[in-house]
């Protein structure tokens, strides 16, 4: 039994015209790569793997989204710093800045999804359900296999699911 | 329109009790890695990728087979040499020795499949049809995706296909 | 004919108690790695190579110094951001922050040495003379060889050279 | 106190016109890479490192020699097999086939030098003395450094050392 992935809570988007929502991506597999620009494993492994996903699949079938979930060094991993990072590392997929918490270090999407840290890869199926979550390093072969399997599944009728800001229901 | 993959023509098998046939593997995805033990790209890329396939998928779903298709240096890439190679490189999946031709350099399976060289990865679906052929280097992400997709497809009824030594028919 | 390497012009030092000077390092080979924290080639190649130099040689013989020469994205590659970077990437050698220019993008040491960009590796011999400068990627084997050769040379009498803030003379 | 490296005992040479001797290479640093063509670590690490040494240094200063020291699978690592290997892996430096023992698995040079296995890198200085021996994996940076240091040392007068087939003396 897989639950519908809750919407991302986003302070700002880079590399996209207007905000994205998981609901509007229903019908595609969505790969969300949570990262921090000053996290060494994200830079050496996560970002290249996100690019590899984008290269291996059609964007008609798979949407790749970066999620900048800052939970340390908040004062230097700012939006401006991230923009420089995205430029220098030639990241071309949309990047969401995880909404900072008003009273804690963990940003809201990271909290909502219960992420353990960065990098974390989340894979969401065509029906919008969270199917896989990988914290740390995971092989390209295994990621390709999971996405390939999700693509082989039949997509749900997009109208069947309804979501508001905090919850989704099938009805 | 994909054709049924013809059976391998095999002089001998290593790492398996008795000969394998594609027909008996019907229902699984089959990854055949054609290689030569003295081919640098096979050693640096092909063999590790074959191992990665084996690690990423259950052998209930995906069968990995090495195919030693010698088309040069025939006098030194002998069965005994291959056995030493398989031992030293810790190859644990079944390896078929492609049947040498009586009148040419190209062994029979390589000829029948029209392979351009080594390494070549052949992917066969659950219904026994040849679906992908990759000569040279191909990314793990892409291979994982193709196998994952094939696994998502419904398997045909195994009895529907009949093969003899040189041809297969659905009937 | 090699000239005495001019002193670094440094806004602040990290990972060291008190400022370092090339003059006080006379007698050692000095490897200066100019980098920027948001430069991908510096992160993937330069920093690991600087660590490899440090691991391969005794710090009695070779001093490794990072030089953070920011010539773009000045507003986000701040001292605080660099401190976070140095912490996350576990950099343990001294890092000098190249003195920003009051009227241009290029910091003062970068200007004085005529560096083309980052990463750049500068190798200074035991007599304080600039002997090699590598912009971009250079093999570990070649770097090891150059440092090894410099170590084989006889060190000059340290008192023979006198430097002030902008120039050095042998006298 | 370093001893003069004994001459290699060689069944045959590849990639060279006539036999080489350490005595005739006196004045150069000599890097001898002991390997077996079916040793995975030799293929993935040793051969590429031998090529890197050759690329980083002038052959006027450093001689690179492969030493095929077969101590297992003797029946398949034959001269003909080695020739195919050398061709396929584009090895261009001279390769000596270590003289097989008449009554044991260990070939004569391997025995004489007391090598523990393959790959092993031996570094001989300009005076013909064995200075470093590395069994297994060693970093390019460290190898470059050791060769660089040896190059910095003054070469002995070549005539000072006299060797016959089994021993060398200075005088």
Task: Return the CATH number at A95.
Answer: 3.40.30.10
Contact by Cβ (8 Å): A51, A15: no
D53-69 pLDDT tens trace: 999 999 999 999 999 99
Domain that holds residue B128: 10-170
Domains of chain C: total: 1
Is C2 contained in some domain? no
Which of C14, C35, C38 should we substitute to test contact with A (largest number of A Cβ atoms within 10 Å)? Answer: C38
Chain A residue whose CA is closest to C72: A84
How far is C-alpha C38 from the geometric centre of its chain's CA atoms?
A: 18
Cβ neighbours of A55 in B, within 8 Å: 139, 141
Is A2 contained in some domain? no
Is B32 contained in some domain? yes
pLDDT (0 to 100) of residue C171: 42
Is B2 contained in some domain? no
Q: At what angle do helices C47-56 and C140-152 cross, to 10 degrees?
A: 40
Cβ distance of D148 and C145 shorter than 8 Å = yes
Cβ distance of A89 and C44 shorter than 8 Å = no
pLDDT (0 to 100) of residue D170: 46
At A159, is the pLDDT very low, low, confident or very high (cuts 50, 70, 90)?
Answer: very low
CB of A144 within 8 Å of a chain B CB? The answer is yes
pLDDT (0 to 100) of residue C164: 54
Strand runs (DSSP E) across chain A, as ranges?
Answer: 10-14, 29-35, 62-68, 95-98, 120-124, 130-135, 161-163, 168-170
Is C3 contained in some domain? no
Which of A36, A88, A119 should we substitute to test contact with C (largest number of C Cβ atoms within 10 Å)? Answer: A88
Q: Which of residues 47-86 of A touch B (CB under 8 A)?
A: 49, 52-53, 55-57
Is B1 contained in some domain? no
- The Cα–Cα gap between B40 and B119 comes to 9
Task: List the single residue in B55, B145, B153 with the smallest CB-CB distance to A144.
Answer: B145
Mean pLDDT of A144-156: 86
3-state secondary structure (DSSP) of residue C126 = coil
Tokens of D165: 């087939």
Mean pLDDT of A89-118: 97
Mean pLDDT of A97-103: 97
For residue D161, pLDDT beyond 80? no
Contact by Cβ (8 Å): B47, B35: yes
pLDDT (0 to 100) of residue A1: 61
Cβ neighbours of D43 in B, within 8 Å: 43
Residues above pLDDT 70, as percent of chain C: 89
Average pLDDT over chain C, rounded to an integer = 92
pLDDT (0 to 100) of residue A171: 43
Backbone angles phi, psi at B50, to 5 degrees: -60, -40
pLDDT (0 to 100) of residue D17: 92
Which of C100, C101, C98, C123 has its CA nearest to residue C35? C98
Burial B19-38 (b: 16+ CB within 10 A, else e): ebebbebbbbbbbbbbbbbb
- The Cα–Cα gap between B167 and A153 comes to 32
Block residue for tokens 């994996």: D137
For residue B170, pLDDT beyond 50? no
Contact by Cβ (8 Å): A68, A35: yes
Contact by Cβ (8 Å): C70, C36: yes
For residue A78, pLDDT beyond 60? yes
Containing C131, the helix (H) or strand (E) segment is strand C130-135
Chain C residue whose CA is closest to D153: C152
Chain B residue whose CA is closest to D91: B40
pLDDT (0 to 100) of residue A155: 54
C74-128 pLDDT tens trace: 999 999 999 999 999 999 999 999 999 999 999 999 999 999 999 999 999 999 9
pLDDT (0 to 100) of residue D169: 47
B115-151 pLDDT tens trace: 999 999 999 999 999 999 999 999 999 999 999 999 9
Is A50 contained in some domain? yes
């Amino acid at each position: 039994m897989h639950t519908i992935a809750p919407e991302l809570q986003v302070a700002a988007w880079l590399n996209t015209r207007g905000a994205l929502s998981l609901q509007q991506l229903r019908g595609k597999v969505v790969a969300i790569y949570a990262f921090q620009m000053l996290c060494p494993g994200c830079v050496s492994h996560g970002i290249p793997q996100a690019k590899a996903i984008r290269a291996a699949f059609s964007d008609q079938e798979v949407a790749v989204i970066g999620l900048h979930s800052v939970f340390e060094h908040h004062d230097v991993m700012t939006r401006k710093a991230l923009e420089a990072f995205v430029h220098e590392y030639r990241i071309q997929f949309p990047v969401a800045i995880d909404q900072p918490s008003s009273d804690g270090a963990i940003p809201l999407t990271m909290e909502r999804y219960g992420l353990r840290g960065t990098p974390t890869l989340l894979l969401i199926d065509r029906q919008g359900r969270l199917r896989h979550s990988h914290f740390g390093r995971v092989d390209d072969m295994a990621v390709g296999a999971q996405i390939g399997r999700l693509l082989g599944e039949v997509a749900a009728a997009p109208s069947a699911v309804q979501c508001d800001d905090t919850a989704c229901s099938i009805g």
